[in-house]
Each structure stands twice: as C-alpha cells, then as structure tokens.
Chain A
Amino acid sequence: MKENQYKYILLVADNSLILAQRLGELCGHGPNLETDIALTNISLDLFGQVRSYYQYAAKLMGNNATEDSIAFLRKEHEYRNVLLVEQPNTDFAYTIVRQFLFDMYHLLFLQELQKSKDLTLSAIAAKSVKEVSYHRRFSSDWIKRLGDGTEESNRRVQNAVDDLWVYTDELFHQTEDDIAMVKEGIGVDVTKLKNTYYEQVKSILEEAAIAIPETAYFQKGGKHGIHTEHLGYLLNDMQFMQRTYPNMEW
C-alpha cells in the first residue's frame, strides 16, 4: 500500500514541480513587471505545495529520503508529471495556455483531494485550493484578454491552444497507483473530473473567441514516465548542482 501511496504522491506533486520549474525560467523576463511578479507568485505557490508533498512522501519512504532527493535525484523516467506541464515557454501565449489548461484541472482535482482519507493529503489540498483558485483566475483572465485583445494575440493563443490541446486528455488517465488509491479512499478518481473540465474550459475559450480544436488524437505517457524531449533539458538544469556536487548540503 505504501509503495502505491508514495508513487501516487509523485503523480500529484511532480506536476507542480515541473510547472513551477518552467515558470521559474521566466522570472525577470516577463512582458511587464506586474505579470512577472504574478507568474513568480504562481511558481512559488507550486514549489510550496511540492515541498509539503515531498516531505510527506520522504517520511513514507524512509531510507533517508528527503524532499531534495525526491526532487533532484530521480532519473527522467521516474518523474510522473503529465506531458502538458513540461512543455516549453515558447511565448507568453503558450505559457498562459499551458497554465490555464493545468489550473482548470488542478482546482477540480484539489477540491476532490480535500476529501481524501489521508489527512496529510487533504490538509495540503485544503491549503492549495486557495492558491490555485487564484492561479485559475489569473490564467483564465489572461485567456480572455489575449483571446479578445488584438488579432495577433488571438492568433497566438489559438496556436498555443491548438498545440497544447493534445496534452489535456492525459490529465484524466489512471495508473495502477491511481486505481489502488481511489479504492482506499485516498486518491481522486480523475476520470470523473473529465466532463466538468472540458465544459469549463470550452466555455472560457468560447468567451475568449478561441476555437476548440477538433482532434481525436491525444498524447500520453508522462504518468508512466515516458516524456517528451523537453523534460531531459529541464532536468539537466534542475539537477545540475546535485549531480555535479553529490552528497553535499547547501
């Protein structure tokens, strides 16, 4: 049970880790100071959540595991994040669309995780719900602003939605660990979130004058450790110090 639970926590927390790391790349390079500060805030909230999840996972794992060994010392195929969050910051539209598509899911997910029988997870979820409600408001406001702003901004958001849409379906896939944890009353049944998610996402995209992509083909793999080419480079930076100077304290 503990093995499933540990892997389940990674499945949840790795999304926040990888997305936070992506947002961290942008600090100091935003389109203006206000959005720079806001995106950094989101990154900080996500890293905060990650630390709570990993500290808990480290406790479950024993074996001298720490939040840092979990964050920095795994191999690429051991990260369980969805493909969506590792996609690069191609431009501000991609950053916002990636954030929006994740936030819409993340809030629905955390609202359910609050009901978990695992009291640590439900407490982390209760704290995170407040933060993620703000993230969702921020990203959906920007979707509307860019979608209904200028011709150029509409075109850029549409491109980003068209490209990133293929990564949304994976949010609702279940792994063995998901299924085991749902059975225990610890995990969230993500399949049940799918309809609400697409309804809410489509309604905001329509308001923003963005067309919903009509694709029947989606990408998947992250939840099983099979990632896109982008993740290796992200990890290369993230793990640089821990790999170059092993077994040191900072």
Chain B
Amino acid sequence: MSEKEIKSLEAEFEARIARDEKIEPKDWMPEKYRQTHIRQISQHAHSEIVGMLPEGNWITRAPSLRRKVALLAKVQDEAGHGLYLYSACETLGISRDELYEQLHTGKAKYSSIFNYPTLTWADMGAIGWLVDGAAIINQVPLCNTSYGPYARAMIRVCKEESFHQRQGYEIMIKLANGTPEQKAMAQDALNRWWWPSLMMFGPTDAESVHTEQSMKWKLKRKTNDELRQQFVDQTVPQAELIGLTIPDPDLKWNAERKSYDFGEIDWNEFWQVVKGHGPCNKERMKARVGAWERGEWVRDAAIAYAEKQQRAALSS
C-alpha cells in the first residue's frame, strides 16, 4: 500500500471515530490503534484475574453462608470478565496464551491495587466499595469506546461491577453499625485502601503519557485527575453517612469549586508498586504462574483427548 493510500485510510478511520461509529475486528485500523487496544484490553483482563486473588483469599473464611456465596459469586464474575475481555482482545489478532505469557513474564501490567494484601473481612467491603467504585468510574466511559468488542464487553462488566460496589458498601454498612470491634475493622480497612484507591486513576495529567491519544480514540473521555476528583466527591459523603473517617487531614469541601480538596498522593509508593515492589506483587505473580503451570498437564490432556475424539469421528 502506498503512503498516500494509508493516509487516506487513516483519515477515513479517524472520521469514523469522530462520527462515533464502532470499529469492528475485520475493519482496517492503524497498527498503533491495534497495539494500544491490545495493551489496554489485556491489562484490563489481567487485572480481573489477578484481582480474583486478594478476594479469593477470604472465600474459605467468609463469616456467614450468605456472605460466602456472595463473595464466591463475585470472584467468579471477575473470572467471567477476564474471559470476555481476553476474547475481545483476541479479536485483535493475539491469542490468550500469548497474553498470559506477557502477564507471567511481567511484560504486561495489571492494576496495582491488587498488590495490596487483604488482612481482614472488612477488606472485602472496602474493595467492593472503593476499588470497584473507582473501577466503575474508570470504566463507564468505555461502554462508548470506539472498538466494538471492547465497548460491548464493558457494558456487561459495568453492570456487574455496580452490583459488586453496592455489595461491598453493604458489607461496610453492616460493620459500621456493628460492635466497636467491627467498626474499628471497617475504619482500618478504609485507612489502608483509601490511598491505593486514589492511585487507581493513574499518574497526574501532567505525567500521563497515554492520555492524549487515548482521548482521541475514545479510550478515555476524561483525564485521570478529573476521574479521581469525581471519585473523591462521590465517596466522601458515603463514608460520612456510615460514620467512617477518610484518612486525609487535608480533605475539605471547597465551596468555590463545589468539590473536595484533598491531600497529596504518595507518588513514591505508587511507582514502587507499579515497578513490582508492592507488598504482594511477588505473591500474586507466583499464584498466577503456579496455577498456570500446575494446570499444564490438564490442558494438554484436554487437547489430546479432543484430537483423539476428532480422529475417531473422521474414521467412523
């Protein structure tokens, strides 16, 4: 293809996106668009399956049958999200095995929030309320993103996430209205999860390298700082309502901006965790790689059996 032809395809492509048309797997797309989407969708898929681990940690210890069933179903939903997102990513011409390989070798990233430990039952509440709450704010705009398979997967993911968020907040309500010990457990979880949740929106706009291109392709509709502000404004009243205190001495209502001002995020901690040195990065990867390696003989057996069945069907 000549350079002129490519330029004209690119112009047509950008015009389609500007008209809010969906790009589908068989449509022509610039290589950079494909690569950016593989990166973002797979990072999202990896976050779902690594995200199963911190909550999975409490399935065997959930305090009641009702809570146990809800938690199991929630973690299972995350596996389901992983499945649709890997499938959406595969439409861009990469296999699930290759994507796993990228995760296991550390080439691909996943959300840093899952590198924090879950120490008490209240963490199940805090994760649902704060982490899923932040995820929804990040993800709702993606229901209208330009790449069709991703947008459609996100519609389903967001519906389930908002259910998880309510479930998490409900755990917190129960604890906050419980015994002093339960209330302290809830406050401790909020103290530990608040700042990492704010970090989920990524670096400040000044530092974010992908924002501009992503805005153009509708992979992003608002900047990191705008989304973070939205999260703070939404969450502070929810904490007040159940009598918990946000662990930020600088937090105060700004009547002029009609928003909360909040303290400085510890960016050293952010980069430390992103670069693989958070409290649980090693454990999380060890768990994923271990499950994959322990499952190898199972996957091999399934393939060998399917081939035998196919040969038998052909020869009969």
Q: What residues make up the interface of A, taking CB atoms closer than 8 Å to B?
A: 21, 24-25, 27-37, 40-41, 43-44, 47-48, 50-51, 54, 67-68, 71-72, 91-92, 144-146, 148-150, 152-153, 156, 234, 237-238, 240-242, 245, 248-250
A242 contacts B63, C-beta separation under 8 Å: yes
Q: Mark B44-64, 1 if CB is under 8 A from A, else 0.
A: 000001001100100111111
Inter-chain CA distance A245–B56, complex, in Å, is 21
Interface of B is mostly: helix
Q: Does B133 contact A (CB under 8 A)?
A: no
Residues of B within 8 A of A72 (CB): 64
Residues of A within 8 A of B300 (CB): 149-150, 152-153
- Minimum distance in angstroms from B232 CB to a CB of chain A: 28
A144 contacts B305, C-beta separation under 8 Å: yes
- Minimum distance in angstroms from A247 CB to a CB of chain B: 9
Residues of A within 8 A of B73 (CB): 44
Residues of A within 8 A of B64 (CB): 68, 72, 250
A250 contacts B121, C-beta separation under 8 Å: yes
Could you write out 19 A-B pairs with CB less than 8 Å apart?
A24-B59, A29-B290, A29-B294, A31-B298, A32-B295, A32-B298, A33-B83, A41-B76, A91-B294, A146-B305, A148-B305, A148-B308, A149-B304, A150-B297, A152-B301, A153-B304, A242-B63, A248-B63, A248-B182
- Minimum distance in angstroms from B198 CB to a CB of chain A: 26
Identify 12 new A-B residue pairs, CB closer than 8 A, beyond the known A27-B79, A149-B302, A250-B67.
Answer: A28-B287, A35-B298, A51-B66, A67-B65, A72-B64, A146-B305, A148-B308, A149-B305, A150-B304, A153-B304, A248-B181, A250-B174
Inter-chain CA distance A153–B159, complex, in Å, is 39
* B296 closest partner in A (C-beta): A31
Residues of A within 8 A of B295 (CB): 30-32, 92
From residue 275 to 303 of chain B, which have CB atoms closer than 8 A to chain A?
Answer: 287, 290-292, 294-302
Residues of B within 8 A of A34 (CB): 83
Inter-chain CA distance A41–B75, complex, in Å, is 11
B53 contacts A28, C-beta separation under 8 Å: yes
Inter-chain CA distance A25–B68, complex, in Å, is 12
The answer to whether A31 and B287 touch (CB under 8 A), given A149-B305, A250-B64, is no
A92 contacts B302, C-beta separation under 8 Å: no
Q: Mark B124-161, 1 if CB is under 8 A from A, else 0.
A: 00000000000000000000000000000000000000
Chain A CB within 10 Å, residue with most, of B290, B294, B295: B295
Residues of B within 8 A of A71 (CB): 65
From residue 236 to 285 of chain B, which have CB atoms closer than 8 A to chain A?
Answer: none
- Minimum distance in angstroms from A45 CB to a CB of chain B: 10
B291 CB contact (under 8 Å) in A29, A144, A145, A152: A29
B298 contacts A146, C-beta separation under 8 Å: yes
Q: Does B72 contact A (CB under 8 A)?
A: yes
Q: Does B82 contact A (CB under 8 A)?
A: yes
B79 contacts A43, C-beta separation under 8 Å: no
A36 contacts B298, C-beta separation under 8 Å: no
Residues of A within 8 A of B49 (CB): 28, 33
A21 CB contact (under 8 Å) in B60, B67, B76: B60
- Minimum distance in angstroms from B235 CB to a CB of chain A: 23
B299 contacts A40, C-beta separation under 8 Å: no
Inter-chain CA distance A156–B182, complex, in Å, is 45
From residue 62 to 101 of chain B, which have CB atoms closer than 8 A to chain A?
Answer: 62-69, 72-73, 75-76, 79-80, 82-83, 86
Inter-chain CA distance A32–B291, complex, in Å, is 8
A149 CB contact (under 8 Å) in B56, B59, B290, B301: B301
Inter-chain CA distance A40–B55, complex, in Å, is 14
Inter-chain CA distance A32–B79, complex, in Å, is 10
A48 contacts B69, C-beta separation under 8 Å: yes
